[in-house]
Every structure is written in structure tokens, then in C-alpha cells.
Chains A and B, each alone.
Chain A
Amino acid sequence: MMVAPEQASSRTYDVVIVGAGIAAAIIANEVSKEPGVRTLVVEAGLGHAMSQEGYQRYLETFYAAIDKDNNAPYPMNPNADMPRTSVLKKLARGETNSKAYWVQFGPYVSDSAYSRVLGGTTMHWEGKTIRMLRQDFNMRKQYGHGLDWPIDLDVLMPYYRRAEWEIGVSGEVASQRALGVEFEKDYVYPMHEMPPSYLDQVVAKDLNGMKLRLDEQEYELSLSTFPQGRNGIPNKAYKPLNGGTMFQPVGAVTFHQSEEGERCQGNTNCVPLCPVQAKYDARKTLAKALATGRVDVLTQAVASEVRFNKSNGSVQDITVKVYQSRERADHRTFTVRGKIFILAANAVENARLLLESAVRGNLTLNERIGQNLMDHPYLLAWGLMRKNGGVGRGPLVTSGIFGAAPSGDTLRNGSFRRKQAAFAVDIHNDGWGWVDGSPVSTLMDAVDNLNKYGAGLRQELVDRISRQLLLAFMVEMPAQRTNRVTVDPAYPDALGNLRPKVTLAVPDYSMAGIEYARTLSRLVFQRLGAEDFTNYNPQNYGYRTYNGHGYEIRGGNHLAGTHIMGTCGADSVVDSYQKSWEHPNLYLVGAGSMPTIGTSNTTLTITALCMRSAEAIIKDLKQQPAELHSH
């Protein structure tokens, strides 16, 4: 349960976890199944949201916020700050923006974000749970780009399955298989797919069967649903995979009964927060861990230094700064101790904490820490359809556009990957919201520029919003050591911790994919007879030119790669169990461990990796602490 810092620092835990997002929740939950194992979870942010009232407060903050970015529900907290779009600006080459939490240098500005609150970035994720493809695990061998994993898909298969149970995935295996995703024989998802929205059906009618040529292959396009971590209708066929019983969707996290969240209602308000908690977030797993009574959570505690034992490199303890109020910087400093330490604070924060520890302890750590930072750059394309598409119904995204060639290649994995990045394409059920904040922008335009009012205004809004088609292309990005997180004593936060300095430049390989994405969007709009309104503003902070054309690039919030796994300490930071090569009782977990992220949103793979790590952690614990062996 929630624990005071005096108590937490007076104990030696078996496992100390920094962070309370999905990676932390999975590991806390898995290790807490072992009767003797006591775990401490250290969370930097406010810990309000373990009750329905706390969650409701977040929702109300979001509803009232003018700038509805991903972190809008979470009040400003300089003691555990997080990236927010409202403080970003376009930067000239060499110019620095040190006002935002991330210190960024021009010309590269990313609006990628994560949430430093209990539940982590699942407190604003969209909920897509796509498995990675077999080829994604050895991109360098196959296509000469990016890196290779030390493990392949087969190793992760059983963990993907467990991850899909834990998150509660609604999806359709057959249509995923057709896109090259692999499953075990007879596998089905716990729940049926989210039904395609009316918009999907309207688009599919005209788009299905469309053909295009890419890298000398002909791809046929069609719509298909995404598997999602939101509650739908349990699948009877899942019973044999679930001990003979129907899958039970997990509802709202609450200390009392609320009967909420067991099903998605299609509010189209999934990001950042599902108003009815039908979308999975890490609090659901954390609540189970807490129910064992073997897990303590210390909130408003920002880890500021990992201290190492000089003789064998093992972690000795972690210094945390505990603040009383987000409004004030005064804090007390404690140390927390455990047998095994897990950094699960996300790719940027894990690296930031270790790099800061190196500065404070005057240490030299693995040089790859902080390097190889990746994300999914997004390109948006928007148009107005000829007919009413019923925009505004369903969860944020239900279907995507997929292409398959007779060879078995798809737009997520084809021979073209030798030259350009692959991508996945979302059809957004919420219109142009991501582009310009529609429907508010549509309202302003109708009032200010078209002088609409009364019934005419209502009609104008219905007519326009219901036809807004937004395609979002999520493009893969290979690792590069120059894309990185560092720290600089010149940029501390309110508590004196060092803020991340981030360099995230989109490589040409991804730009080639983005260029093709724009071409594809034009073809799709043409086929649908939609009017293309796409217009990339050179003043946008994400504006970037390639081959003479400009694009607005948006962050995907899928930050990864800062402590990649590999085959040895010379090429990587952790092993395939996410265990540090140099520090025998330290695990660095999350997307930071991933050498590639392909065209899959990272959360499902993070979950699978952490389930596997939890087994290794339990095994480590069963040995005497003195025998915790180094590699």
C-alpha cells in the first residue's frame, strides 16, 4: 500500500522499482505473486489516481484545459515535470529551448511526450497493442538498417500471449495474420475486435481493392482493425486459453464498487483518458499487485541518484527526493534499498537518471546509455470526404489501411524496407483533432470566417466535422547513436535534478518512408474523391524538408532505445532479460531496451519483455544475494 518515506527507507526490499508505469506495474505484479517477495515502487509524480475520484479529477482537469495535449489532465508539477506541447517553439539551428522540460536544440524539435504520474504513459496511451513482426527483430541482417535483437520473435511469443491477457486485448487474429503478424495455432484474442466504425465502413467501401506499386511489387489495399487494449466483448473461443472460463474484462480502478469500465462505449475521447476506464492503464495491474499486500508505493518521490558499490558495480541504494506539494520545491532526501533494483521510468527517464548518477558519482558508465533514442515519427494527412462519414463515433482509431502483395510482403514489411521505412496507417475517428484541435477550430472558422450562427452554424458543423478524414502514418525509425539523451548541470529542474537534453533527428531512411506516406495519402484521397486539405506549415516546430518538400513531423510518444539490449556489453547496455551487463543487481526495463520498434506501438512488447524479465528477477532472488552473478 501507500507508504511513508520514513518507512520505505527503513526497510531493505527484495525489489525496488523506479517508476509506476506499465513496465513497473507488470514486474511488481509478477514478482508479488511470490509469497516472500517484498517490493517498493517509487513514483515521481502525484499518486492521486488509484481511486475513481482521483481519476475523475484528472478527467475534469482535462475537460477544462484549453490546450488539450496528452498531458493536459495532469497538473503542472515542476518537481516531476514532463514534456508538454504548449511550451514548444520552432528552433533555428543551434538555438536552444530550455523552457520546456526537455532541453532541445534546433533545428530538431520533437513533441513526443510521456506522463510522470502513477500509471505512467498508459495514462495517455491510445491503446493499440500490435505485435512486432518477425523481421522487425533482425532489421540489420534482413535490410541493412537499424539493429538486430539478441532474441527473436519465437522467444517472445508466449510472453505476447500473457501480455494480451494482462492488458485485455480486443482484436481479430485472422486479420492480423493476413498482415504478417504471427500467433500460435488456435490462438484468439481475449475479446472480439472493436467493431469497425461507420467511418471505417464508408472508407472501406471505396478503398478496398485499391492497388499500388512499390519497389516493383503490387500491393492491394484494404482496411483491417487494430488489436486494442480496451474492453470489448469477450471471445468464447478464448476459454480454452483461459483455464476454461470466459475472459473477465477489468473495469475501473477503484477502492469501492463502481461498475464502470468494463466495456468501451465509443466516446472518441480515448486520449489521454477514457472517460469510463474501458481502456487499459497500468493502474489496473498495479491495483492487483497492491492487493497482495507485498507491494509498497512511495509517491512524490523523485529518484535522483543510483549509487553503486565501487568493488563489484552492484547498486547499493537509490537516493530519492520526496516533496510535499507540487507547488513547492522543498523536499527531504531519503535512500531506498533493495536486493534488486529496476529502473522502469521510461526510455528517457531511465537514461536521465543513470547519466545524472554518473555525474554525481563521477563515474564512467556504459557509453550507450542514452544513445540510440528512437520514436515513431508521425505524418498526418487530412482531407474532406464527399459524403458524411459519421466522424466522432467509436474509439479514437478502430481500423487502419493495410497493403499486401502476392509475395506475402505488406506495407509493414516488404522488400522496400531496404530503401525506406515501413509504416502503419491509422484512420482517425475523431476528425482533424490531431491536426488543429478540431472541432474547436472548425467552430471558430465557421463563426469567424463564414459568419455562421444558429441553425446554420449547427448544420455547418455537422456537415464539415462528419466528413473530416484524418490519416496518420506511423513510420519506423532505426536507431542512431547520435539521437540521444544527455544531461547537463546547466539545466536542473525544481528539485535540482538534471533535466534531459534530447536530440531526436529523423533519419533519411524514415524521411523516405514519410515521403512515400504523403504520396500514398494523395492516392487514397484521390480514390475516395476526398478534397486534400493537407498543408504543412514551415513555422511548425516539427517542420522538416526532404527532397525539396516540407513535412510537419509529430512525435509518436514511443520513445525507445536508450539502453538497448544486445549480445554483450560492448554493443549494448542490457541483455535480453533487460539486465545490465555491468551492474549485477540492476535491470533497465521498458522500450529503452528495444533495439528496433518496427511499426508496432511499443506497449505490448514492453509488457511481454517485462513478463520475461520478472521470471529472471525471481530466479535472481532465489539465489543468495552474494551469489548474484555478473555476466
Chain B
Amino acid sequence: MRNPIDTRAELESYLQTAIQVEHATIPPYLTALYSLKPDPQHSNVASFQIIRAVLVEEMLHLGLAANLLNAVGGAPDLIRPGFVPNYPAYLPTGETDFEVGLESFSRRAIDTFLKIERPTPPPATESFVKVNNVAYVKHEVLATGRKKGRGMLPHFRATTDKGDELFLHFWSIGEFYKAIAAGFRQLAYNLTEKELFIGDAGRQVGPEHYYSSGGEILTVTNLQTALQAIDLISGQGEGSAGRIYNDKGELSHYYRFDQIRQGRYYRVGTDLPDKPTGHAFEVYWDEVYPIRPNVKVADLPPHSELREAAINFNHQYKTFLHRIHDALNGAPADLMPSFADMFTIKEAALRLIHNPLPSGGGNAAATFEMS
């Protein structure tokens, strides 16, 4: 069986994609989060905390993915064209049965979030599982079956025994990281660990640089720490070994969002999938600012305050990405000061989200257009 990753270039490309995947979830989560109205009577505080907690971990994952790439001598690129998807967009993992967009907190948005975070399913009897006319395969199967890649990741048309046409790609973000883990193992064996981990340790983001509440960032210097970092990402994302919790007993992202769908908390450590038994909380689906989905600068009246605010937001976000980019490319100590930007980004986003479009159809929002 061939690994999807068996050259350094492939590994670097996967890790760059990993950074893009982690980042691609942030604008949708932020938009939904900031669309919640701060109404003390009908407060969506529980939903707010849940989305916020996932968001904080996605930022940690971005840092971990950058550490993985830096460890093998690569260079994270957060400013390349297309780094920020043009929403609505497919995730960079190549899943094509759903798009991710910028919209208000809603049942639909939560369903999308659940798709983003969907856990690896129970083993299928066939080599793939067919859902919505799209087949998902485990990464090993995808590797053996690889014909030609579309973009940087294996992703191709195939037909079933019955002649149905299928589009094969990763099942989930978790499967994607499994491919990366396998690639690390393979390359460490092929090249030796010493030859694989040639990155400058000074480029690693350590706990002294990273200020987060979503868990502690790990520096990556060898195969063991690389696999630990991957475990942390996929464990927080979709739980460990098919359970809904990771090794530290944290609920995985999918089931955190599921709490909003069900209006009830999971009791950590004891509850089974889909059957939360913790205390119930109210979800006020209407207590949100009604954002027009995936609004663009071009949708806003020329020379209006809203348009200026949208352009200003994009400028701020671009500056923020540049600062993070520079920090991840050899100046990790600059990471912390750049987080202060988050406060101005929040204010700039709220200014848009709180205001209706003059043309109707909902409120404005940050457009995350970087070019």
C-alpha cells in the first residue's frame, strides 16, 4: 500500500493545506459567533461559549500545523493568493458535498459546522461509503486508489462496480490528518528522523509565545512530537480512537456543536454519542443579527460607510494575517503582540454585522476578501 505522502514536497504541501484548512474554519465560526445578539433576556451565552471554545482550538491547530511544517524545513504561507477561501467555498481538504459560508448563527450554519467537524465513521464493509452521491474513502484506500490528483490533494473521479460515477476524497479532517501522520512515519523511515526534521527550532511556536486557552501548544522537533501534535489536533477535532472525547476527556468539536443542535450539554466522560444527558439550555435561534450570507464588498453601496467599514475590516484582517505569517516564519515572539489585533478585528466585524444593508436582504458582515 502506498501512502498518499511519500516525498518531502508532498508532506509540505499537505501541511500547507492543513494550515489552510484550520484557517478556513475561522471566518465562518467568527461570523456566526459575532452574529449572536447580546440580549440578557434571551441570551445565547451557551451557544456563544461553545462556538468560541471551538474557535480558540482551531487557532491552536493552526499554530500546531505551522510547527509541523516548520519542523520539516517548510515555510508556512498565510499570504498567498487563495489562502483565505472565497466564501462560499469547499474546505481545502477537498470535501465537495458541502460548502462553507459566512452567515448568521442558524440551524443551517450549525449543520454546516457539524459537517466540517464530522468524525470518522465506523469502518465500512466496502472500501468507501457513499453519501449524497459522493464517496468518501479512508486515506489508505484513497492512497492505493490514487490515479491523478486534483489540486494538491488526491481527489479524483472513479466508478463503482455498478458503473456509478464517484468523486473520491478524504472522509473528514481526521482522515486527512491520519494521512499526514502516516506520511511523517513513512518519511522518517525513508529519510531518517534526522534528515526529515531539519527545521530551525527557533521557528517553533512554544507555550511562551502562544497565549491561548484551548490547550498548550507543542513544539515539534522529531517524530514523537510530530505525532503528538497531530494527535492533539485530531483528538480535539474528532475525539480519540472513535470516542467522542479525546485523551484528556475533552468533548470533540463535532459533539460540542451537537450540543447546540440538541440544546443540551454532554456530560463529559460519561455520555454516549448523540445522547447528551447534561443540563438543557435554551437556544434562541431568532436572537441573531440577520446577515446576508456571503456578502461581498461589491454588494455594498459605493462610498457608503458600510463599504468603507468592510474595506477597513479586510485591510485589518490582511494586516493580521501578514503579522501571523511573519511570526510563523522565524519570529515566534511577535505572535503574542499580533493577538491584540483580534480586539480591533472583533470591533470592526461587529460594526458591519450590526448594520442592515440599505438594499435589504439582511445585515452586512465582514467579507474576508483579501485581494
Contacts and interface: CB of A to CB of B under 8 A. Distances in A.
A255, A256, A260, most chain B CB atoms within 10 A: A256
A433 B50 CA distance: 33
13 contacts: A56-B43, A233-B207, A233-B211, A256-B259, A256-B268, A256-B278, A257-B256, A257-B268, A259-B52, A259-B53, A259-B215, A260-B49, A262-B212
A246 B207 CA distance: 10
A462 interface: no
Contact of A234 (B49, B53, B207, B214): B207
Contacts, number: 55
A260 B213 contact: yes
A53 B278 CA distance: 14
Interface residues of A, number: 21
Given A52-B45, A256-B268, 8 more contacts: A56-B45, A255-B265, A256-B251, A256-B259, A259-B214, A259-B215, A260-B53, A263-B213
Contacts of B250: 257
Contact of B251 (A257, A262, A276): A257
Contacts of A236: 208
Contacts of A258: 49-50, 52-53
Nearest to B48: A56
A161 B354 CA distance: 49
Query: Across chains A and B, which 10 residue pairs bring their CB atoms closest together, nearest first?
Result: A262-B213, A259-B53, A256-B265, A258-B49, A259-B213, A259-B214, A259-B56, A60-B40, A263-B211, A56-B45
A442 B53 CA distance: 36
A64 interface: yes
Interface string B241-262: 0000000001100001001000
B45 A53 contact: yes
Nearest to B251: A257
B266 A256 contact: yes
A237 to B, nearest CB: 12
Interface in B211-232: 211-216
A60, A236, A255, A258, most chain B CB atoms within 10 A: A258
Nearest to B55: A259
A255 B213 CA distance: 16
B303 interface: no
A395 interface: no
B57 interface: yes
Interface string A224-264: 00000000011010000000001000010001111111110
A51 to B, nearest CB: 8
B279 interface: yes
A259 B60 CA distance: 11
Interface string A51-63: 0110010001000
Interface of A: 52-53, 56, 60, 64, 192, 233-234, 236, 246, 251, 255-263, 276
A195 to B, nearest CB: 9
B188 interface: no
Contacts of B207: 233-234, 246
Nearest to A251: B213
A260 B216 CA distance: 13
A628 B284 CA distance: 57
Contacts of B278: 255-256
A256 B260 CA distance: 13
Interface in B265-319: 265-266, 268, 278-279, 281
Interface of B: 40, 43, 45-46, 49-50, 52-53, 56-57, 207-208, 211-216, 250-251, 256, 259, 265-266, 268, 278-279, 281
Contacts of B45: 52-53, 56
Contacts of B259: 256
B57 A259 contact: yes
B279 A255 contact: yes
A130 B46 CA distance: 36
Contact of A260 (B52, B211, B251, B256): B52
A255 B53 CA distance: 14
A236 B219 CA distance: 14
Contacts of B56: 259
A403 B93 CA distance: 60
Contacts of B281: 53
A292 to B, nearest CB: 15
Contacts of B213: 251, 259-263, 276
Contacts of A257: 53, 250-251, 256, 268
A53, A192, A259, A261, most chain B CB atoms within 10 A: A259
Contacts of B40: 60, 64
A60, A257, A261, most chain B CB atoms within 10 A: A257
B192 to A, nearest CB: 29
Nearest to A263: B211
A24 to B, nearest CB: 25
Contacts of B215: 259
A343 to B, nearest CB: 33
Contacts of B268: 256-257
A246 B53 contact: no
A245 B49 CA distance: 29
A64 B39 CA distance: 12
A420 B53 CA distance: 52
Nearest to A258: B49
A234 B207 CA distance: 8
B358 to A, nearest CB: 23
Nearest to B40: A60
B211 A52 contact: no
Contact of B212 (A53, A192, A255, A263): A263
